[in-house]
Amino acid sequence: MVTSPNASSGNIDFAQKRHRELAKLIQRYDDAYYQDDAPLVTDAEYDVLRQELLELEKSFPQLKSALSPTQKVGAQPLSRFAKVKHASSMLSLDNAFTSQDVTDFFEKASRFLGRESRYIEVVAEPKIDGLSASIRYVDGCLEVAATRGDGVTGEDVTLNIKTISSIPQKLTPPFPNVIEIRGEVYLDHEDFFLLNAQRENDGEEIFANPRNAAAGSLRQLDPAITANRKLKFFAYGAGSVWVAGFRTHWDFLEQLKKWGFEVNEHIQLCKSLEDLVTYYEQVASLRSGLGYDIDGVVYKINDLGEQKRLGFVSRSPRFALAHKFPAQQAQTRLLDIQVQVGRTGVLTPVAHLAAINIGGVVVTRATLHNADEIARKDIRVGDMVTLQRAGDVIPQIIGAQLDLRPSDSTPFEFPAKCPVCGSPVVSKGEEVARRCSGAITCHAQAALKLRHFVSKDAFDIEGLGRKHIDHFFQEGVIRSVIDIFTFEERDRSADEPLKAKEGWGEKSAQNLFDAIRAKKTISLSRFIFALGISQVGQTTAKSLSLYYENAYAWFEKMIAAAKGGAELLELKNIDGIGESVAQDIVDFMNVDAHVNLIATLMGNHENEGILSVMPDEKPNVTSSMLAGKSIVFTGTLISMTRAEAKSIAERLGAKVLGNVSAKTDIVVVGADAGSKAEQAKKLGVTTFTEDEWIQVTQSEG
């Protein structure tokens, strides 16, 4: 578990700064990993930041936002595969690292359900370290299979899945007309070592661990290659969690076996929290002899009706938890500290290490976060440092072994100037992060911003990936966003047109220009995301798009918000925006170059722009009378918990607010209601009793 000592001691000022810094750092790594296919850190180094953010949000709940990076799931499907939309989202699980974490999770679930935790029945199973997949059967026949992808849409790997012998091509009757079976694709240790030996013999790069091997094998374009990799599959659930005709998760697991799926033999039904602890210890003791990788255990509430009541929060279900195994440690030499410059100008120090194997993974790099982190831990080049991997996947530098420190060691000096462009390094407000002040004059930032702009979740321009952007940038052909959309016109009069350059031809050049032209129509949320505003990820961009509805309204409101006043207050009050994100949006809009860029790209009411920025499609909840309504709950609810009432409202398309204002549509008044009920009466806001609220929600389904 990663917890900042300053945060845990109650220093809210430090916590706020660290939370904001981590959110931005994670956003930067997301851009590189998910959009550019060019990770700046290992998966394990990235996970340690997410865990620290989770711990901060646990210690300081007021910092948690519905749009926090901790809510993000998976990654966009690779472009070389067709896309498959899942019947229901494939979410990730919350993590626990101690028995107390497990107790807290199930006590919280119990409070939500209004019952005692000792009476909750839980199914426990080993957490397979593989690749999640969903397999759709129609009339009992395997029709399509997909990876998790971003949780909503995955990669079509049907032909490859059909090569896995532990996955039935047809289900044994009886079966429903349509069902998605979910589970984990993995490679056992024996086949992993044989595969690596063969690759080494063939002069190919070996896989770092079985999970990487499984992922790489399942994503082959040639199913024959996948067939030779001897992948296996453990089924663990269904696409629709609440499967018709089944009362418990345990019953459904039994049915999976009857249909011909392999279900892990170590799954167990537990009757108490004490049973969970015992099970965890038993699986940990079996771990080394299982023959395949696990990185913890998973607990799922057995009753499917209770699962349905608990539902989901953002990126994870309320009814399931992953209990990770303890950290593994090792020592190695810190060879160098190099400072990288990100898209938003943040300077990140990266530790380069003598290669060390920790739990089967070779680690050569680790992020040091920022200058303060290096100083706090007093980490120096040449030190022997202790590395830790929590839950088998999270590496971090714990500290240096001072007794082994070289006599000529000197403290690391963080650069005062950008290592790329030489501009002064500055700090923004109370932010811990240090930034290059060069902005668009810094080539590192400019090139990364362009990469982000054309990335998969932004403009997604086919054929204009990382390598091409970098090449065109170095040549001076594309130095700004505008250059992308004027490329074809400028190329017509160029001394050496693109089709004449090495690696290009008339057809490939025309394909690129056609792809650019095809992206001149884009949704508002993608457009906002593409701008690369700090802290504005896909979810925040979507919220802004749906709230302001069209591009012109959003643009005008953002310009007004940058000047303060009512528009800024309105921006802050949007669910998930808050003070920090709003300030970053304001900072962005206070730069004339940014405003001019947006105006040029999308135009205004008087002038036509380069692009057509279209409104996003609204959620399909228009049939609900609560869709789009702002609701406030006050007082004590008798028949359900507050959390359950909020979950129902959001499922029906409503927005749940904390305070009553003139813009509030409905106030649900429970027992012992206070000032909020009085405020609603004063403002003439519609009020429901708890019984009236229940009647409305039941009529909505």
Active site residues: 127
State the Cα–Cα distance between residues 68 and 27, nearest whole angstrom. Answer: 10
Contacts of the segment 549-555: beta carbons below 8 A, 24+ positions apart: 549/615, 550/524, 550/615, 551/524, 551/527, 551/602, 551/613, 551/614, 551/615, 552/602, 552/604, 552/605, 554/524, 554/528, 555/598, 555/599, 555/602, 555/604
State the Cα–Cα distance between residues 130 and 555, nearest whole angstrom. Answer: 44
User: Residue type for 607, please?
Assistant: N
State the Cα–Cα distance between residues 684 and 670, nearest whole angstrom. Answer: 18
Instruction: Evaluate whether 21 touches 431 at the Cβ level (below 8 Å).
Output: yes
Instruction: Evaluate whether 645 touches 637 at the Cβ level (below 8 Å).
Output: yes
Adjacent-strand bridge partners of 350: 338, 367
Instruction: Evaluate whether 369 touches 352 at the Cβ level (below 8 Å).
Output: no
Instruction: Evaluate whether 284 touches 260 at the Cβ level (below 8 Å).
Output: no
As a three-state string, the secondary structure of 122-181 is: EEEEEEECCEEEEEEEECCEEEEEEECCCCCEEEECHHHHCCCCCCCCECCCCCCCEEEE
Q: What is the DSSP letter of 387?
A: E
Distance of CA 34 to the CA centre of its chain: 9
Instruction: Evaluate whether 264 touches 126 at the Cβ level (below 8 Å).
Output: yes
Angle at 472 between CA 469 and CA 476, to 5 degrees: 130
- How many C-beta atoms lie closer than 10 Å to residue 577's C-beta? 23
State the Cα–Cα distance between residues 461 and 480, nearest whole angstrom. Answer: 15
3-class secondary-structure state, position 601? helix
Please name the residues in contact with 262: beta carbons below 8 A apart, sequence gap of 6 or more: 166, 232, 233, 234, 235
Please name the residues in contact with 380: beta carbons below 8 A apart, sequence gap of 6 or more: 334, 400, 405, 409, 410, 411, 412
Q: Which residues of 125-162 are buried (b: 16+ CB within 10 A; e: fewer)?
A: bbbbbbbbbbbbbeebebebbbbbbbbbbbbbbbebbb
CA atoms within 13 A on the CB side of 518: 12
Instruction: Evaluate whether 321 touches 396 at the Cβ level (below 8 Å).
Output: no
Read out DSSP for 250-316? HHHHHHHHHTT----TT-EEESSHHHHHHHHHHHHHHGGGSSS-EEEEEEEESBHHHHHHH-EETTE
